[in-house]
Each structure stands twice: as structure tokens, then as C-alpha cells.
Chains A and B, each alone.
Chain A
Amino acid sequence: MLPSFNYYQPASLQEALTLLASLPRPKKLLAGGTDLVPALRRGELYPANVVSISGLSEMKEIKMERGLILIGALAAFSDLVCPPCFEGAHRLVAEAAGQIGGPQIRNQGTIGGNIVNASPAGDMLPPLVALGARVRLCREAGERAVFLSDFLGDAGGACIAPEEILVEVSFPALPVNAAGSFVKLGRRNSLAISRISAATVIIYDSYGRIEEARLALGSVGPKPVRVPSAEALLKGQKPAPDLLEEVVASVGEAVGVLLGSRSSASYKKAAVRGVARQVLQKADPRFMNSGEING
């Protein structure tokens, strides 16, 4: 038995927003429940009111519109694995979603829940940060849109009011000459929390040189971090194995500085080099030595 609370199942987003505005705190929103239900059970949360939005099908849609890819906050991870809009350069979204938890968790857990719960190890966050995603938040009185990187707090958590609902996450579709990938290092392949994750987006100019590179790391701080030193090394260059080694070294240094004297620092500083190497090679095979196979 879980703690006592009242439960509401609004039929529309508007009804949910009205309810959230009127119900007294503490109140919690229920989407997939894969984080909320265990937290209730462990006694970490004791809301008086739980508002379930899991049935709001208007928030499950995934679509491309005017150069933007829009993902409804209630899209389950398994809904993100197959759509054609997550092929090619955008595949980092599908790659991250496809490695979360196990199949059962992926059927239940939602992208919005992953964002709002803002775990340092939240696997959807580095790809979305690398893609320059924004989140749209609604409340009864209006709405706002913010960059995901600003929505995630520097000390952890997400900047969301109890009356707000994250309804959608979106990012600009990448140009044709772009690549992207995601790599996760966990203790095992399935049902493992990320020890380190990395997402990259690379945009090329018409000569095949890197016009812009973005590299976002997860699980090395309270929220995903970009690695400007590595991105600067890549800019203007043609992908090649020598360049990769330079980039990888700078990622290792950057993570060393970020983690300081934390007990995991020496492990992660070394391990992140492998993760960075893999994610860049997966995005662009020109980073590989001839004969090298990316595992």
C-alpha cells in the first residue's frame, strides 16, 4: 500500500491545468509512473493529490512541422525508437530512448517524465541538449517555452512550478549534411543507470568539413554538459583519427575539472575518453582508423 492521496484523471489538458491550479499542495503529476510509483512506495514523496495525465492522447504525438521536430511529452520511450523522423542524423534520439531501462520501462516511461525528473543520468537529456531542444510548459493562465539547458537547474532538478505541465519538447530538424549519435556506458546493457553517456551532433559544410560540432555528456554533473573545448577542436576540421585523439584527450581533461575530487572522478575521467571516442566514431566513420570496427 502506498501513502494516501486523492487521484484525478482529467479528460483534457485544459481540465488537467485547471485541476492543477486549484488543488492544494503537495501535488504530483503522473505520466508513465516508472519514477513516481517507486518513489511513493519508498515513502520519498507524500502528495495529497495525484493528477494523472497518462490518458491525454493529444500529448503523445510526434510530428515534423515547419522545420521543427515536435515530441509530445507523453510519448513513451518505445514510441521514439522507430519513427522515420528519428533516422539519419536524428537517430541519437532513438538510440537513447532504445537503451533506457528494459522494454517494459520503455513502454511506460515518457520523454516528459525523463525531462522533468531531471536525473543526472536521464538518458534523453544529453541528446536533447545536443539538439538544442526547447520545452513548452503550460499552466492555466498561459504558457512559456525555454531551452532545455536552462530548464534544467544547475544544482539538479527542473525549473517547473507545481501548477505547470511540460507538454512538448521540440528541436530544429538538422540539415541534410549532418550526423548524430548517442552512446551510453552502464554496468550492463539492460536496466542499468548510465555511468556516463554522450550525445553528439555534427553539421558539415559543403566540403565535408565540420561547420559545427556539439558534444553533450550525461552523468558527469547535475545536468548534461556541453564540452566547448572539444567542440572548438572539431570546428572547421575534416574528421580523422588524429583529430579524434586530440578531442578525446580534451574531453578527459574537461571531465576531470568538472568532477574535481569526487570519488568517481578518476574512473570517469578515463572512461569518458572511450565514450567520447565511440560516440564520434559512431556519428562519423571517418574518425576510425582503417580496419577498426566500432563496438
Chain B
Amino acid sequence: MVEMKPFKIISKVNGSTVELGVNPGRRLIDILREDLGLTGTKEGCGEGECGACTVLINGRPVNACLVLAPEMNGKEIITIEGLTPEDELHPIQEAFLEAGAVQCGFCTPGMILTAKALLDKNSDPDEKAVKTAISGNLCRCTGYVKIVAAIRLAAAKLAAREGSI
């Protein structure tokens, strides 16, 4: 058995600088959930198939179950908790509620972060673009129809908010 040396990381998680010595045999999802208490990130399959653990690393959606903890070093990470200040809902979260896109809720944080990455790049995605964007996020409850509707509603909400500023 090799004695693992902790690896020192400095990264930004939801806007705050995090300095930790991490055991290289842990994964990003372990650090988020167990050390930082960010339990909004869910572990589904643990193999990169389901997308429940999706977080944004430098703005791109990735599966936190496939990232070794030391790989966080130097990266900017956004989890569902970091989408808005506490007690506020992001327009994408509002849209998910209004469209009835949440059932059991397990896939929702990953879906919403994937939607955020899409809407950051494409402010008015058509149905096909939405379906392609969420093709790495599985949902066992909704049948996806309301999730797709929610993401398009979120686009409209964001556009309206942009217009009113």
C-alpha cells in the first residue's frame, strides 16, 4: 500500500477561494459533498453516465465523479449552491418550478447547471439545441418534456431580465 501524500489545492468554489490538502484518491464530488458541505451535487451512477453530479468547471459542465480531487487545483467551480446568492432563485430555477420540471429532484441540480452553461453560450436555443445540451443528464421521472420547456422558458426569462436592465 502506498502512503498517499496530501496534495495542496487552491481553487475557487462558488466564488470563494478554497485552500485544502486533498487525498489524491478522492474525487471532486467527495470534496464538494463531504468537506465543503455542498450536498446539492448528487452522485448517481459514479461512472459519468447520468450527469447528476454535473458542476461547472471554468464555465463548462463536467461530471464531478470523474474528476480527481487534486484536479480542482487552479480551477473555478460552480455548484448549484453558487448559482445565486442565498435565499434567491436563479431564473432557471424559477423556470423549472413554473414549468413543473422537478419531480424527485435528484437530476435537477445537474440539469440546471447544464442549462446554465447552454444559456451562457446560446441565449435562445431551439428545442434541438436544448435536447443536445442535456443529452448527458438522465432523468427517470419527468420524461424530459417539461425540462426542455423549462429551459426554453428560462431563456425567455433571462432575455426579459436583460431587456429590463
| A→B interface (CB under 8 Å) | 1-7, 9, 30, 33-34, 37-38, 40-41, 48, 50, 52, 54-55, 78, 101-105, 107-108, 189-191
The answer to whether B133 touches A103, judged by C-beta atoms less than 8 angstroms apart, is: yes
With A and B bound together, what is the CA distance between A3 and B4 in angstroms?
Answer: 10
Interface of B, helix, strand, loop or mixed by DSSP: loop
Is the C-beta of B33 less than 8 angstroms from some C-beta in chain A?
no
Contact pattern, B 31-68, Cβ under 8 Å of A = 1, otherwise 0 = 00000000000000011110100100100111101111
Residues of chain A within 8 A of B54, CB atoms compared: 104
Given the interface pairs A34-B48, A108-B66, A189-B135, the reply to whether A1 lies near B25 with Cβ below 8 Å is yes
The answer to whether A103 touches B135, judged by C-beta atoms less than 8 angstroms apart, is: yes
Is the C-beta of B70 less than 8 angstroms from some C-beta in chain A?
yes
| B→A interface (CB under 8 Å) | 1-5, 7, 23-27, 30, 46-49, 51, 54, 57, 60-63, 65-68, 70-71, 73-74, 114, 132-133, 135-137
The answer to whether B51 touches A104, judged by C-beta atoms less than 8 angstroms apart, is: yes
Residue on B nearest A103 in the bound complex, by CB: B136
The answer to whether B2 touches A6, judged by C-beta atoms less than 8 angstroms apart, is: yes
7 A-B contacts (beta carbon < 8 Å):
A4-B25, A37-B68, A50-B24, A101-B48, A104-B62, A190-B135, A191-B135
Residues of chain B within 8 A of A41, CB atoms compared: 46-47
The answer to whether A38 touches B27, judged by C-beta atoms less than 8 angstroms apart, is: no
Given the interface pairs A34-B66, A103-B114, the reply to whether A191 lies near B49 with Cβ below 8 Å is yes
| B1, B48, B61: most-surrounded residue (chain A CB, <10 A) | B48
The answer to whether B68 touches A30, judged by C-beta atoms less than 8 angstroms apart, is: yes
Given the interface pairs A4-B2, A5-B2, A6-B5, the reply to whether A108 lies near B62 with Cβ below 8 Å is yes
A78 touches which one: B7, B27, B60 (CB < 8 A)?
Answer: B60
Query: Contacts A1-B30, A103-B132, A103-B135 given; 15 further ones with Cβ under 8 A?
Result: A1-B23, A1-B26, A3-B25, A7-B7, A7-B68, A33-B71, A37-B68, A38-B46, A52-B68, A55-B73, A55-B74, A102-B135, A103-B136, A107-B61, A107-B62
Given the interface pairs A9-B70, A78-B60, A108-B66, the reply to whether A2 lies near B136 with Cβ below 8 Å is no
With A and B bound together, what is the CA distance between A48 and B70 in angstroms?
Answer: 16
Residues of chain A within 8 A of B4, CB atoms compared: 4-7
The answer to whether A101 touches B136, judged by C-beta atoms less than 8 angstroms apart, is: yes
| B24, B27, B114: most-surrounded residue (chain A CB, <10 A) | B24
The answer to whether B25 touches A5, judged by C-beta atoms less than 8 angstroms apart, is: yes
The answer to whether A105 touches B136, judged by C-beta atoms less than 8 angstroms apart, is: yes
CB of B61, distance to nearest CB on chain A (Å): 5
| A9, A52, A104: most-surrounded residue (chain B CB, <10 A) | A104
The answer to whether B26 touches A2, judged by C-beta atoms less than 8 angstroms apart, is: yes
CB of A288, distance to nearest CB on chain B (Å): 23
The answer to whether A102 touches B51, judged by C-beta atoms less than 8 angstroms apart, is: yes
Residues of chain B within 8 A of A103, CB atoms compared: 61, 114, 132-133, 135-136
CB of B35, distance to nearest CB on chain A (Å): 13
Residues of chain B within 8 A of A108, CB atoms compared: 62-63, 66-67
Residues of chain A within 8 A of B48, CB atoms compared: 34, 37-38, 101, 104-105
With A and B bound together, what is the CA distance between A111 and B152 in angstroms?
Answer: 32
Residue on B nearest A5 in the bound complex, by CB: B2
The answer to whether B66 touches A33, judged by C-beta atoms less than 8 angstroms apart, is: yes
With A and B bound together, what is the CA distance between A3 and B68 in angstroms?
Answer: 12
The answer to whether B63 touches A104, judged by C-beta atoms less than 8 angstroms apart, is: yes
With A and B bound together, what is the CA distance between A50 and B7 in angstroms?
Answer: 12
Residues of chain B within 8 A of A30, CB atoms compared: 68, 71
The answer to whether A33 touches B67, judged by C-beta atoms less than 8 angstroms apart, is: yes
Residue on B nearest A190 in the bound complex, by CB: B135
